[in-house]
Every structure is written in C-alpha cells, then in structure tokens.
Amino acid sequence: MWDDTIAAIATPLGEGGIGIVRVSGPEAMGIAGRLFQSASGANWRMKGSHRLFRGRVVDPANGRLVDEILLGVMRAPHTYTREDVVEFNCHGGIVAVRRVLELALSAGARLAAPGEFTRRAFLNGRIDLAQAEAVIDLIRARTDTGLEVAAGQLTGRLSRRVRQLQDELLGLVARVEASIDFPEEDAGFNSADDLECGLADLIDAVARLIRQAETGRVYREGISTVIAGRPNVGKSSLLNALLDENRAIVTDIPGTTRDVIEEVLNVRGIPLRLADTAGLRETADKVEKAGVERARELLQQAELVLLVIDAGAGLTDADRELIKLAGHKKGLILINKSDLGGAAVITEQLREMDSKPVLSVSARFGTGLEQLLDAIGNLVLSGAVAPAGDLLVSNVRHQDALKRCLNHLKAARLSLAGHMPVDLAAIDLREAWEALGEITGTAVSEDIIDRIFSDFCIGK
Ligand SMILES: Nc1nc2c(ncn2[C@@H]2O[C@H](COP(=O)(O)OP(=O)(O)OP(=O)(O)O)[C@@H](O)[C@H]2O)c(=O)[nH]1
Ligand SMILES: [Mg+2]
C-alpha cells in the first residue's frame, strides 16, 4: 500500500454531461471531507461504502461554491485500486473539473501518473498484469471483436490459462528434480516416459496459444493498410466509398492527394487502418514529391497493400513496376473503374504476371466492395480461428513470452530425449515457467511495468 494519495481527472476534457475527478489513497476520505458539503447536512463519512452523496464542493480557502456534485464514496478494499476511493462527479465543463482537481491537490493529493490507478490495482494484487493490460485494450478497442477479446482478458481468462500451464510445469519440474535427488529409484523408466508425455502436451498447448496469437494481435492492433497506385486511378474515391463518406478530396486532376489520409475501417471485426496516399509518379512539384516519398515509405511499412489500377487506362508499365515493387507484400490488386470496361483484359494480363489476387471494383458505383471486404478479411486472417469462444492472446508482449516459454520447453525435451543430465532440463523448465510468469506479472521487471503503464491515460 502507498502512503500518498493520488488524484486525476478521469473523464475526457471537454464539455459533457459529467466530469469525474478521482482520488485514491489513504487521504481520499479526508480530502473529500475538506472540500465536500453534503446537501442533506448528514455526515456522509458515517455512512457505508459504495454510496453516492449529493452536495457541493466549496473552496476551503474562501468558502466559495465551486460546483454542485455527486460524491462517490468507495472504501477499501473493494475498490478499483483496493484503496479508499472518492469520485467527484462534477458538471462536465473544463473549468469546474479542473477547479475540483486543483482543490484536491491543494488538500493533499498528488497528481496521478498515467495509469497509476490501474497500477495500484495491480500492485495491490486486485488484478494481474495481463488484466491490467486488458484495461487499456478495452479502452482502445476499435471493433466489437477487439472489445470482446479485451473484456475476456480483463475477466482473467488468459491469466487462468497461464496459471494452469504454470501449475502443470511446476509438476514437471518437481518430477525432474525428484529424479535428480533420487536417481536410483527404479520408478525410473516409466516416469521418464510420463515426463516426456507431459512435456509434449505442454508444448502443444503453448504452441496452440502462439498460433492463435497472430489473430488476437490483428483484432487488437488492426492492420496497417495502404492504398497505392498511379495518380488518378481512384484511390481516394475508393477510400471514400469504403468509409461511406467524403473523407478525401477527389478530382479528375492527377496528383490531387498529397498528404497521407488515415482512417480506421471495421472489416469483419478487424480494425483496418487505411491510408490513402499520393499517386506514385515522378514529379517536379515540390509538395507532390514529398507526398510521393511518403507514399513509398508507407508502401514499404504497411502490412497490407491495396494496389489500384485504372480499368479505363489499361495496364501500364508504371502499374507493372508498382506490382513488382509490392511483390513481397501481402495484398490485393484492385482494378478500379471497372464500370468503364477493360477489367477482363487486365485480369488476364495480370494472371500471366502471376501476381496477387485480383478483384474488379468500381469506387464510383460501389460495386465489388463487399467482395473486397471479404477478400481482405480472408487474407488477413487466412483461415485462422474466429475469436468467439477461443482464448486469443492479443498482446505482442504476451506472444513474445509464450515463444520464449516454448523454446525452453523444446530445449528441455531435447535434453531429456538425449539423456543429458536432468539438471539441464530442470533449468529450462524453470525458465519456461518464468517466461509464463511475465504474462501475469509474477516474474517481471520494474522497467516493463513502467513501460506498460506509461501507455495508459491519466486518470485510469
Ligand atoms: N468511371 C469511374 N470513375 C472513377 C471511379 N473511381 C474514381 N473515378 C474518377 O477518377 C478520378 C480520380 O479519382 P481520385 O479518387 O481522385 O483518384 P486518386 O487515385 O486518388 O488520384 P490522386 O490523388 O491524384 O493520386 C475522379 O474523377 C473520379 O471521379 C470509378 O470507379 N469509375
Ligand atoms: Mg487521391
């Protein structure tokens, strides 16, 4: 437990129905006592926990009324942080909320660091690290599926599975160590077989989690996608058609788009981070040139490429060059303006080039867009599991820990199979156990914890 009390604005700054100042720590009740006057005159501090009281915040320095509020009172230990928590539910204007925060700070609280409330929840043992990470995923979720994965992790689904695997591992470690201590016991042979069996099961289980992790990551982080192609082929029109709004400027002048325009699109539950870019060509125009350079960079960085070709113009040398440039990338070739005809010929020519999957669309008339979304979904998940019902590891940090765990398990299997000294296997099994512990935070360094919570917003 901490001896200081933290405070922060927990709602977004701006105009809204309510704005909340949250205070947590041993002085939370004392601070509320100094600032809050209950409307009924009753002594709220004598009443129970988890209750709301109507009243006013008054500046103790001059007796001035600051706001009429509802005070939420939650006493330790059944609170978000496991500490005493009070929440000032103010009228949601910037000034009122800031004033109440200032008063809380001058009454003895310290401004909370990003994620510090959740960090206390973790350090006070209410949630583990994977659950704390789920909090930020939940806040940042951009699709229902992303939300579902995060919510499952917040309830401790992943943590339970990891602890289960850790228990099984400990069982193996104990047996390996027993065979070190009593090498002559003639339980010998059978138990070695047993051990290998147990180890093989564990390897399967961890490998399965890793296989599904890529899907989880996609649902959580989305896919960076770039729409690229020569000028005037209809890239911006395509972005607009997919978003169903006039987001990017469209004209019949080649070189219209200069800056990168990014939007998130929900494709079958996957957040597609779509970037419309400047048409790729040599140009003397300084501004357009900068845009083209940016587009080339994005083309290299993106995970998914949508290469657009103009059906009306036919397949040009520049198109062919672009297709080669993006050859190693996951993506689709879109023959846009298919309403103008000519798509069939281009499809045939592309088939000879043995390029990416090809689709005909018309951004202007909205044709082929559903097929496009399906194709993107298939490409990204490439037949991977649907999240419903499955436990999905969505976080790269967790994925990395699982991979290290798997490596140690495999190393242990190798030493056992090669009749190496059992101590070697025991060391690997212990390290595998620790790698799993990094996920839930039982074995994790302060640096990693700092990094995780610095990602949070203040007030969470
Ligand atoms: N017939 C037809 N015209 C289209 C279609 N899609 C776009 N266009 C037209 O093509 C022209 C160029 O469209 P944009 O979306 O600005 O093309 P762009 O690829 O973004 O062009 P730059 O930003 O200059 O690289 C506009 O006149 C659009 O109306 C389509 O599906 N069919
Ligand atoms: Mg454009």
Q: 222-381 in CATH: which number? A: 3.40.50.300
What tokens were used for 245?
A: 């709004």
Is any atom of ligand 1 closer than 6 Å to the C-beta of 186?
no
Q: Of the bound ligands, which one is closest to the alpha carbon of residue 366?
A: 1
Distance 228 CA to ligand 2 centre (A): 9
Is any atom of ligand 1 closer than 6 Å to the C-beta of 235?
yes
CA-wise closest residue to 296 among 272, 323, 277 = 277
Residues above pLDDT 70, as percent of the chain? 95
Choice among 124-128, 142-146, 373-377 with the minimum mean pLDDT:
142-146
Distance 263 CA to ligand 1 centre (A): 18
8-state DSSP, 143: S
Is any atom of ligand 1 closer than 6 Å to the C-beta of 236?
yes
Q: Which residues on adjacent β-strands are paired with residue 55?
A: 38, 69
Lookup result for tokens 């020519």: 349
* CA separation for the pair 400, 394 (Å, rounded): 11
Is any atom of ligand 1 closer than 6 Å to the C-beta of 277?
no
Q: Buried (b) or exposed (e) across 146-183, using 16+ Cβ within 10 A?
A: bbbbbebbbebbbbebbbebbebbeebbebbbebeeee
The secondary element (H helix, E strand) that includes residue 359 is strand 358-360
pLDDT at residue 343 is higher than 70: yes
pLDDT at residue 379 is higher than 80: yes
Q: Residues near 338 by Cβ (< 8 Å), separated by ≥ 6?
A: 311, 360, 361, 362, 367, 368
pLDDT at 182: 67
Is any atom of ligand 1 closer than 6 Å to the C-beta of 234?
yes
* CA separation for the pair 275, 321 (Å, rounded): 21
Backbone angles phi, psi at 30, to 5 degrees: -60, -40
Distance 244 CA to ligand 2 centre (A): 16
AA identity, residue 407:
N
Atom of ligand 1 nearest to the CA of 237: 15
pLDDT at 260: 94
pLDDT at 185: 56
Is any atom of ligand 1 closer than 6 Å to the C-beta of 360?
no
pLDDT at residue 274 is higher than 80: yes
pLDDT at residue 446 is higher than 70: yes
Is any atom of ligand 1 closer than 6 Å to the C-beta of 339?
yes
Q: Residues near 314 by Cβ (< 8 Å), separated by ≥ 6?
A: 342, 345, 346
Instruction: State whether residue 372 is helix, strand or coil.
Output: helix
* CA separation for the pair 289, 425 (Å, rounded): 58
Distance 378 CA to ligand 2 centre (A): 26
pLDDT in tens, 56-112: 999 999 999 999 999 999 999 999 999 999 999 999 888 999 999 999 999 999 999
Do the Cβ atoms of 146 and 271 come closer than 8 Å? yes
pLDDT at residue 338 is higher than 70: yes
AA identity, residue 35:
L
Is any atom of ligand 1 closer than 6 Å to the C-beta of 99?
no
Lookup result for tokens 């496991």: 82
pLDDT at 184: 57
The secondary element (H helix, E strand) that includes residue 223 is strand 223-229
Residue nearest atom 14 in ligand 1 by C-alpha distance: 234
Residue nearest atom 3 in ligand 1 by C-alpha distance: 337
Numbered residues of the known binding site for K(+): 232, 251, 253, 256
Q: Are strands 36-38 and 51-58 parallel, antiparallel or unpaired?
A: antiparallel
pLDDT at 202: 95
pLDDT in tens, 134-190: 999 999 998 888 898 899 999 999 999 999 999 999 999 888 888 777 665 554 445
Distance 267 CA to ligand 2 centre (A): 22
pLDDT in tens, 298-327: 999 999 999 999 999 999 999 999 999 998
Name the pLDDT band for 200 (thresholds 50, 70, 90).
very high
Peptide linkage before 77 cis (omega within 30 of 0): yes
Is any atom of ligand 1 closer than 6 Å to the C-beta of 237?
yes
What tokens were used for 422?
A: 């059992």
Q: pLDDT: is 252 or 3 the higher one?
A: 252
For a mutational test of ligand 1's pocket, the pick from 237, 249, 285, i.e. the residue with the most ligand atoms closer than 8 A to its C-beta, is 237
Count of C-beta atoms within a 10 Å radius of residue 115 = 24
Name the pLDDT band for 214 (thresholds 50, 70, 90).
confident
pLDDT at 317: 94
Is any atom of ligand 1 closer than 6 Å to the C-beta of 233?
yes
Numbered residues of the known binding site for (6S)-5-formyl-5,6,7,8-tetrahydrofolate: 22, 87, 126, 460
Q: pLDDT: is 217 or 316 the higher one?
A: 316
**Domain-by-domain residue ranges, the chain?**
6-112, 131-218+395-454, 222-381
Name the pLDDT band for 195 (thresholds 50, 70, 90).
confident
pLDDT at 189: 45
Q: Around 134, how many Cα atoms within 13 Å sit in the side-chain half-sphere?
A: 25
pLDDT at 383: 52
Pick the CATH number of 131-218+395-454 from 1.10.10.60, 1.20.120.430, 3.30.1550.10, 1.10.287.70: 1.20.120.430
Is any atom of ligand 1 closer than 6 Å to the C-beta of 441?
no
pLDDT at 175: 85
For a mutational test of ligand 1's pocket, the pick from 226, 227, 232, i.e. the residue with the most ligand atoms closer than 8 A to its C-beta, is 232
Distance 453 CA to ligand 2 centre (A): 39
pLDDT in tens, 393-441: 888 999 999 999 999 999 999 998 888 888 889 999 999 999 999 999 9
Mean per-residue pLDDT over the chain, rounded: 91
Residue nearest atom 23 in ligand 1 by C-alpha distance: 257
Choice among 121-135, 226-240, 436-450 with the minimum mean pLDDT:
436-450
Choice among 45-49, 239-243, 362-366 with the minimum mean pLDDT:
45-49
What is 6-112's CATH topology?
Gyrase A; domain 2 (3.30.1360)
